[in-house]
Amino acid sequence: MATKLVTNSDIPVVILCGGKGTRLREETEYKPKPMVEIGGRPIVWHIMKSYAHYGFRRFILCLGYRGHVIKDYFLNYEAMSSDFTVELGHSAADQRMNYDSNHEEEGFQVTLVDTGLEVMTGSRIKRIQPHIQTEQFMVTYGDGLANVDIGTLVAYHKAHGKLATLLAVQPPSRFGILDLASDGRVERFSEKVKNDWINGGFFVFNHGVFDYLDSDPACVLEQAPLQKLAADGQLMSFQHNGFWLGMDTFREYEMLNGLWDSNAAPWAVWQSKAH
């Protein structure tokens, strides 16, 4: 397929929204994890607002588990996010509604794609290939937040010329680290020690990455595709020392809500304050 270089505003953002979120069962039994709310808004809204702050407003959501909940959210977004007036006495076809928009998401283009239920991340991305008409596209998970400068990330990707870039982060350890002597004596105790660099889940890809993926439901992006890209010298890292947190557990859900409620949400780059 012929591709073309476009401006940043045309680069689509693919958000993986199909997982079951089993480690957050308290919130995901009846809705997909991207719809779990932080400060009264689904976490996927926070992710989209972060990208939109840097001018990226085209989104492709890969749906799976309870995808209808996400579809309903966006189908009713205008009504649920605005004041409106309904003129009664008309048939459904002629019903008149006047919206008094009080939200800032004008210009968002959201494509919702059912990529299957029991499908892994690599396969989900492969299945949305027909929707990618640009040379570059971005991919992220529907449960991670960061204050990374997306514009700088994309510029870095374009400059190095490789097929793939991932955000590398060093999350602090959840537990204190002990250095133990042979007799069991604690020689050193360290709290909040940073772990090794890990995949932070914010990717920039060139179209050629699709050649490393297949639509087999078992294709996991984080396994053979990224390993092969690395072996081929086509995978670069963008090191991020700022805020990053994946919402994998109820503890992290509470942490994110606590940051929002205290007006200290680092990922809310679209506004000076979190509220």
Looking at residue 215, which CATH number applies to its domain? 3.90.550.10
Residue 6: the pLDDT is 60
125, pLDDT greater than 70: yes
Q: Mean pLDDT of all residues in the chain?
A: 88
- In this prediction, residue 183 has a pLDDT band, given cuts at 50, 70 and 90, of confident
- Residue 2 domain-assigned? no
Tokens 């992290």 map to which residue?
252
Report which of residues 17 and 176 the model is more confident about: 17
- DSSP strands (E only) in the chain: 13-17, 37-38, 41-42, 58-63, 82-87, 96-101, 109-114, 136-141, 144-146, 164-169, 177-180, 186-190, 198-206, 235-240, 244-246
Is there a domain that residue 172 lies in?
no
- Domain of 57? 9-166+196-261
Residues 60, 243, 34: CA angle, nearest 5 degrees: 35
pLDDT tops 80 at residue 240: yes
Tell me whether residue 185 is in a domain. Answer: no
Asked, for residue 68, whether it belongs to a domain, the answer is: yes
pLDDT tens-digit series, residues 27-41: 888 899 999 999 999
Can you give the pLDDT at residue 101?
Answer: 61
- Beta bridge partner(s), residue 146: 244
Per the domain annotation, does 115 fall within a domain?
Answer: yes
Q: What's this model's pTM, rounded to 2 decimal places?
A: 0.87
Give a yes or no: residue 181 inside a domain.
Answer: no
Q: CB-based contacts of 211: which residues, under 8 Å, 6+ apart?
A: none
The pair of three-digit structure tokens given for residue 27, joined into one six-digit string: 């919130």
Percent of the chain at pLDDT > 70 equals: 85
- Is 178 within a domain? no
Is residue 40, in this structure, part of any structural domain at all?
Answer: yes
Residue 190 pLDDT > 70: no
Q: Is the pLDDT of residue 107 over 90?
A: no
Q: If pLDDT is split at 50, 70 and 90, which confidence band does 275 have?
A: very low
Q: Please say if the pLDDT value at position 149 is more than 70.
A: yes
Q: How many domains does the chain have?
A: 1
CB 136 within 8 A of CB 157: yes
